[in-house]
Structure 1
Amino acid sequence: MSEKTKKGFQMPSSYTILMIIIALMAVMTWFVPAGAYQKTDDGAVISGTYEVVASNPQGIYDILMAPVRGMLGTDLTGGAIEVSFFILMVGAFLGVINHTGALDTGIASVVRKNKGREKALIWVLLPLFALGGSTYGMGEETMAFYPLLIPVMIAVGFDSVVAVAIILIGSQIGCLASTINPFATGVASDAAGISIADGIVWRIIQLVLLVALAIWFVYGYASKIEKDPSKSIIADKMAEHREIFKLQENTADLTSRQRKVLYVFALTFIIMVLSLIPWGDFGITLFDDINNAIIGIPVLGQVIGLTMAPFGTWYFQEITMLFIVMAILAAIVYGMSESDFLKAFLTGAGEFLSVAVICAVARGIQVIMNDGSITATILHWGEVGLSGLSSQVFIVLAYIFYLPMSFLIPSTSGLAGATMGIMAPLGEFSNVPAHLVITAFQSASGVLNMISPTSAIVMGALAIGRIDLPTWWKFIAKFIVMVIAVSILLLVVATFFG
């Protein structure tokens, strides 16, 4: 005789939520009037040009085809194939880097070299994790570092909260203030039809401010415990944790090959940043001149490729190529065999398959709305509703909008793909550039990703640190309020500069 087990409510996955939204949008095409806007040559909506057009209701077949068309594109909606393949190649690159153990050993080396100055690790490691979050969306990869750092912090008189805060707050602050994170900034920029580099200056400012705030917050808590261990938020568990987390020092040193891999890793993101910044807009022609000089060399120019694009004009295709090339270079400097390289490369790509697919599903929402001709109508309603609103009020409302949406759709890629096609054009009606709408989205999503019970990163970190969720909320509450205040203030100030 089998026993029946009662299951509590489980939040549906992002895929399910997005498919439900696709179905709801299809239903709306039967009732919402169809419409269209006149557009500029670069595709921007021209305010005040809305007109009603013939309706085109979407059926069940259209719903089922939406993710496919979302990936491959239609006449009205660009496909997610470029950004999805880019994400797969970022995953492949990280798979090769992780296979070398360079990152893990590098962090262990930093911890070991700061023995006796463990509190100083807050100043060193938190910015490093933030940099990882800001550049490549460091999240699940952090799980390997908790067992390394928690015993060190407990052994010198701190608690597991300090160690978890360094890694979790650090990496997620980086994701919140993403500069070139492909899974947040990249997907959102693609959906909004702008370059990843647009608005990067404001995101760098936000990153610096919030990392400084995070260091001050975590360092202050660590200092308080150092003076009086009873001040720990988990003081009643510290004795138990000392037994559980006994220090087993990692004595491995970085090999010369691993050090070279780290150089390749850092160089990859330096090149990515340099290639995406539109230097021509600032009157800087250095990279154009270098590019023209190289391809102008007889024979050699043709061997390299006459179609080579200069830094400042790169986009998803070029930076995808960059990650493929740098993965191969990392394998070469490490001395990896071809079979090991291919295994690490394909395994890494496979780990990011879910993110690549969710981009297509999310893009399916735009497919249904555009094919059903209701996108313009919804934008028109927004134009009417937002008329008279200042840029400052709009950006605050956009931030507030993304707070509950980030809980509903925890995937940053899925949320960006599902909403940015509407939110970015809405911003134009209040003279808010698309890059600021993206910053508002990232800022709200990042806050939720530090406290949400639906986040595997948060719950995994707390499980390893033996910290229950209410205790973590109590610890981080003041910090979250400060992050929200700083983010909103920065967004409001940015609206005055465009």
Structure 2
Amino acid sequence: MPSTEEPDIKSGFRFPSAFTILFALIVLVAVLTWIIPAGQYERVASEALGKDVPVAGTYAPTDAAPQGFFDVILAPIAGFYDPVEYVARAIDVSLFVLIIGGFIGVVTRTGAIDAGIARAMVRLKGRENWMIPILMALFALGGTTYGMAEETLAFYVLLIPVMIAAKYDALTAVAVILLGAGVGVLGSTVNAFSTVIASDAAGISFADGLVLRLIILVVCWGVTVAFVMRYAAKVRADPTKSLVYDRQAANEAHFLAETPSENVGFTVLHKIVLIMFALTFGVMVWGVSIGGWWMAEMSGLFLAAAIVIGIVARLGEGKLVEAFVNGARDLLGVALIIGLARGIVVVMDAGMITDTILHAAETSVAGLSQTAFILVIYWVQVGLSFFVPSTSGLAVLSMPILAPVADFAGVKRELVVTAFATASGMVNLITPTSAVVMGGLAIGRVPYERWLRFVWPLLLVLTVIVMAALALAVLFGAPA
């Protein structure tokens, strides 16, 4: 995976890089700490959640804690190691990304990836488009069951070369992963990090509202797959229609060591390496979903796999270390972006404005009709999700406040949970405060504004579907 320089950009306005956008947001949030009054809810311990949760009706102003110049400068640093509820620290995710880069660098050095891509293109000739719905179904399954998020970062460097070799573009690969897993989280059915935690915090069973969330998942998944397949077909028919066409040559040089050819030899060693490669990802999925693994265990897995593959491929100590370091270096920018994104949340929490924003949400829904209430709750959760990209963290923060309010409006609490899950999932497809979004785009070398241009029509359609589902559930009774 040789590194290449970015393509030249025509003179004129150039959209800021992800680093600039994120740092500007840190500055903006710091300014808001001077404007928005500081406040805090009282909190009580929840045995079910294992965390302190805010108590509705207990919000009170507190001493202001405006964030200044040095706080802004230190925020990206603190973003790496400050804990976020139910989410791995950014330093853990960043280290995972670097080790993934090293692992891919070693596998690439063996030549197995290029040989495997060439063989796959021969076997899939004429049926490449089937990769999209199949892979998006698998990612959506991970999203709806266990909230697949940071784990997806491991798949970009695997899928992007395949998609480019199939005459699609890097954006198609990013969409398959990010939208596939993202729409699964949007339609969280039994996601322990979203609906289960939110339901516990709301005082109901996570099975309440399950049918409605399943309907939303199926409909939104179908629409999303159709959207991605339409774009992919358009790019394949005419590469100039790609939103990253100006980066095509650089991306091919970056992600493909050489242009895959049907004549590339596919040796027994290549097969062994690719089997070990696939087994590594299989073990990762098992470890996360069943074995209770998280970032440290996953990082250790890929480190060990890189060493074993290097030994099996007889790279030698020098080439093995060189390949690992070069692969990690290719993803260094991604690792830095992850810490920078978390810095936004650090400043907001330190400035004591998180609970003030939540209190404003609590008071905004008072006195509304049932339909208006659930739709406003949805948009309140959309707004909160930009500041708290963690679905589990937002569930613990908002559900103890907003769920009891639903009782006064005559709305079932499971609808508030569904509104939360869909709103959080929707925002986490685009929010620059999410390490998953910014990390995935950085790996795929897709500028943030290009992603917004690509995904906004889909977001409009998905928003209409979700709002219609919530409104109909209020009017006709939510399916159990």
**TM-score (norm: length of structure 1):** 0.60
Name 2:295's counterpart in structure 1. 316
CA distance in 1, matches of 2:196, 2:314: 40
Note the alpha carbon deviations across 1:219-259, whole angstroms, 9 max, x for none.
Answer: 899999xxxxxxx7799xxxxxxxxxxx9942124322222
Name 2:287's counterpart in structure 1. 275
CA distance in 1, matches of 2:123, 2:25: 51
Map 1:331-480 → 2, pairs under 5 A = 331-386=310-365, 393=375, 397=379, 416=389, 425-426=397-398, 429-431=401-403, 436-443=422-429
Note the alpha carbon deviations across 1:153-181, whole angstroms, 9 max, x for none.
Answer: xxxxxxxxxx45xx754551222122799
Q: What is the one-letter code of the residue matched to 1:397?
A: W
Whether contact under 8 Å (1:130, 1:174) holds in the other structure is no
Matched, 1:123 2:164: no
CA distance in 1, matches of 2:314, 2:215: 39
Name 2:95's counterpart in structure 1. 85
Change (3 A) 1:316 1:492: farther
Name 1:55's counterpart in structure 2. 64
Change (3 A) 1:393 1:92: farther
Q: What is the one-letter code of the residue matched to 1:83?
A: V
Change (3 A) 1:266 1:12: same
Name 1:177's counterpart in structure 2. 180
Matched, 1:71 2:57: no
CA distance in 1, matches of 2:362, 2:287: 35
Name 1:300's counterpart in structure 2. none
CA distance in 2, matches of 1:40, 1:401: 25
Matched, 1:98 2:103: no
CA distance in 2, matches of 1:219, 1:19: 34
Q: Which moved more, 1:204-213 or 1:51-60?
A: 204-213
CA distance in 1, matches of 2:136, 2:315: 26
Name 1:12's counterpart in structure 2. 16
Say which one has the larger Rg.
1
Q: What is the one-letter code of the residue matched to 1:267?
A: L
Name 1:36's counterpart in structure 2. 40
Q: What is the one-letter code of the residue matched to 1:27?
A: V
DSSP-derived class of the 2:43 partner: coil
Counterpart selection for 1:107 from 108, 114, 117: 117
DSSP-derived class of the 1:177 partner: helix
Q: What is the one-letter code of the residue matched to 2:93?
A: V
- The CA deviation at 1:114 is 4.7
Whether contact under 8 Å (1:66, 1:368) holds in the other structure is yes
CA distance in 2, matches of 1:66, 1:477: 30
CA distance in 2, matches of 1:251, 1:402: 53
Name 1:255's counterpart in structure 2. 267
Whether contact under 8 Å (2:80, 2:90) holds in the other structure is yes
Change (3 A) 1:388 1:250: farther
Whether contact under 8 Å (1:177, 1:207) holds in the other structure is no
Aligned length: 392
Whether contact under 8 Å (2:160, 2:444) holds in the other structure is no
Whether contact under 8 Å (1:68, 1:364) holds in the other structure is yes
Structure 2 residue runs without a partner (length 5+)? 1-8, 46-50, 141-147, 199-205, 241-258, 404-415, 433-440
Note the alpha carbon deviations across 1:65-123, whole angstroms, 9 max, x for none.
Answer: 111222232899995222222222222222223333333322221222355xx2x3322
Change (3 A) 1:383 1:136: same
CA distance in 2, matches of 1:324, 1:14: 28
Map 1:161-240 → 2, pairs under 5 A = 163-164=168-169, 168-169=171-172, 171-178=174-181
Q: What is the one-letter code of the residue matched to 1:344?
A: A
Whether contact under 8 Å (1:89, 1:349) holds in the other structure is yes
Q: CA RMSD in A?
A: 5.5
Q: What is the one-letter code of the residue matched to 1:149?
A: A
Change (3 A) 1:93 1:69: same
Whether contact under 8 Å (1:91, 1:351) holds in the other structure is yes
Q: What is the one-letter code of the residue matched to 1:440?
A: M
Change (3 A) 1:442 1:56: closer
Change (3 A) 1:354 1:460: closer
Change (3 A) 1:8 1:334: same
- The CA deviation at 1:340 is 1.8
Whether contact under 8 Å (1:100, 1:258) holds in the other structure is yes
Q: What is the one-letter code of the residue matched to 2:21?
A: I
Q: What is the one-letter code of the residue matched to 1:12?
A: P
**TM-score (norm: length of structure 2):** 0.62
Name 2:256's counterpart in structure 1. none
Change (3 A) 1:35 1:457: closer
- The CA deviation at 1:420 is 8.7
Q: Which moved more, 1:40-49 or 1:435-444?
A: 435-444
Q: What is the one-letter code of the residue matched to 2:26?
A: I
CA distance in 1, matches of 2:353, 2:284: 37
